[in-house]
Amino acid sequence: ITSQEKEIIIKKPNGETTKTTVRIWNETVSNLTLMALGSSAPEILLSVIEVCGHNFQAGDLGPSTIVGSAAFNMFIIIALCVYVVPDGETRRIKHLRVFFVTAAWSIFAYTWLYMILSVFSPGIVEVWEGLLTFFFFPICVLFAWVADRRLLFYKYVYKRYRAGKQRGMIIETEGDRPSSKADIEMDGKALNSHTENFLDGSINLEIDDKDQDDEEARRDMARILKELKQKHPEKEMEQLIELANYQVLSQQQKSRAFYRIQATRLMTGAGNILKRHAADQARKAVSMHEVNNDVIENDPVSKIYFEQATYQCLENCGTVALTIVRRGGDLTNTVFVDFRTEDGTANAGSDYEFTEGTVVFKPGETQKEIRVGIIDDDIFEEDENFLVHLSNVRVNSETTEANFESNHVTSLACLGSPTTATVTIF
């Protein structure tokens, strides 16, 4: 029953329509209703038959079966689940919000049973107690479903972003809202430190290798850039970097001397030292990027790589575009490079369309775009990601055959960095 699927039609931005299948049942609802009821049906029936057969007097079989089943679930099943995890690996709860909701209701259920059996009417279960207990179940399912779909209260929860284990992968989590001092102004308008909607498209975040260990800095910079990009899509990247640097500097803890110097500069008209420093950092970042490009252009070997290591898109965007570039080497050659998608937390066929093929850089071409279809199944899911790999660079020049020996191919073209792009689906 819970594995039943239905067909939905997905409309792509170019007008094409494709059909795919999605689950009818919500995973959380099915786990709490059909699966839980099916696995508990024998003990429930035993208890009902015994109570009805003993003139509504509690016997020994029904309650003992329920208690034994609960003990089995608590100790044996949990012990096995912990034991079978291989050494060196970890397992995490997929929906932590749902877990907390169901755990809270489980504690409440045992507390409620104690109240009706020992406090309200000792030794007797009255009709109103039974009915109220029965109606608690759909309320529990409703709360779990709301937590699973992130409805109602979730839009008021502040989101924070952290860097994942893989390079450039950004993961959204709930966190505390920073102080209002972190808000900055641009063009006379206050910029809130939290935006409710995501970007209408994809954001590319370039992360330096030497900063990979700085998880906190990457998380804050990713969050701030996303907010700035959505609030001011017309701004250039240099301006966004400047404002992001300024906001990060504003949030850092400062000494008393800093505030004295800042106040003196403002009174004398020297300007905001943080804004000046942020502007300098932004100019340095842009200039370093241009210098790196110049160095690559003068390289005699063609480098093939993704323009960005990280791409982000909405689930309903239809397709996500990834850019592959060629830098350096002889641009009169024709270069071939293969690409292929690989599952991460997202699965091909249900979250995105499996894609593989060959990109051809004709003479003079330095940039190519590939597109991967994103499947919108109308079911809310956690942020998921998949990978796109580059491989097998081949060169065809005017003076050689189409296929080369591997050592000769390397002398004409090779893979640069990054060769793997991470696509995160929100």
Clarify whether residues 308 and 421 are in a common domain: yes
**Do 141 and 190 sit in the same domain of this protein?**
no
pLDDT of residue 379: 62
pLDDT digits (tens, 9 = 90+) for 51-94: 888 888 877 777 777 778 878 877 888 888 888 888 888 887 77
| Residue at 285 is within a domain | no
Written in H, E and C, the secondary structure of 196-262 is CCCCCCCCECCCCHHHCCCHHHHHHHHHHHHHHHHHCCCCCHHHHHHHHHHHHHHHCCCCHHHHHHH
DSSP secondary structure letter of residue 154: G
> Mean pLDDT throughout 352-357?
91
Domain boundary among 265, 282, 317: 265
Residue at 337 is within a domain: yes
Domain identity same for 185 and 142: no
Residue 358 domain-assigned (yes or no): yes
Number of structural domains (the chain) is: 3
Hey, which of 188-192, 257-261, 335-339 has the most confident mean pLDDT?
335-339
Please give the residue that has the higher pLDDT: either 230 or 174: 230
Which residue in 188, 191, 193, 187 sits closest to 175, CA to CA? Answer: 193
Q: Same domain, yes or no, for 211 and 244?
A: yes
What pLDDT score was predicted for residue 370?
A: 93
Residue 280 lies in a domain: no
For residue 296, CA distances in Å to 205, 209, 239, 289, 344 come to 20, 17, 25, 11, 31
pLDDT digits (tens, 9 = 90+) for 94-126: 777 778 888 888 899 889 988 988 899 888 888
Residue 331 within any structural domain of the chain: yes
Higher pLDDT residue, 72 or 320? 320
User: Is 199 or 284 the better-scoring residue by pLDDT?
Assistant: 284
| Structural domain boundaries, residue 179 | 161-265
Q: Is residue 189 part of a domain?
A: yes
Q: Are 82 and 91 in contact (CB under 8 A)?
A: no
- Asked if the structure places residue 67 within a domain, the reply is yes
| CA 279 from centre of chain | 31
| CA 350/CA 354 separation, integer angstroms | 10
pLDDT digits (tens, 9 = 90+) for 193-249: 333 343 333 344 443 333 444 455 656 666 677 777 777 776 666 666 766 766 665
Give the per-residue pLDDT at 204: 41
Quote the pLDDT of residue 66.
Answer: 76
The predicted pLDDT at position 369 comes to 92
Q: Which two tokens stand for residue 80?
A: 């096995």
348: helix, strand or coil: strand
* Planar angle of CA 347, 423, 10, nearest 5 degrees: 60
Q: Are residues 307 and 421 in the same domain?
A: yes
pTM: 0.37
Provide the pLDDT for residue 74: 78
Q: Are residues 133 and 41 in the same domain?
A: yes
Integer CA distances (angstroms), 312 to 28, 198, 199, 361, 422, in order:
26, 10, 9, 25, 8
Pick the last residue of a domain from 149, 182, 210.
149
Of 247, 265, 283, which marks where a domain is finished?
265
Q: Which residues contact 394 (CB under 8 A, 6 or more apart)?
A: 335, 336, 337, 402, 403, 404, 409, 413
- Note whether residue 289 is domain-resident: no
Q: Are residues 321 and 412 in the same domain?
A: yes
Q: Which residues pair with 23 in a beta bridge?
A: 5
Query: What residues have CB less than 8 Å from 307, skipping those under 6 apart?
Result: 204, 323, 324, 325, 367
**Which has more confidence, 296 or 93?**
93
Please write the tens of the pLDDT for every residue from 111-167.
Answer: 998 898 889 988 888 889 989 998 998 998 888 888 877 766 555 555 554 444 444
Q: Residue 305: what pLDDT?
A: 92
Question: Are residue 232 and residue 141 in the same domain, yes or no?
Answer: no
366-422 pLDDT per residue, tens: 899 999 999 876 665 667 889 999 999 988 765 444 444 444 444 688 888 889 998
Tell me, what's the pLDDT at 49? 87
- The reply to whether 213 and 318 lie within a common domain is no
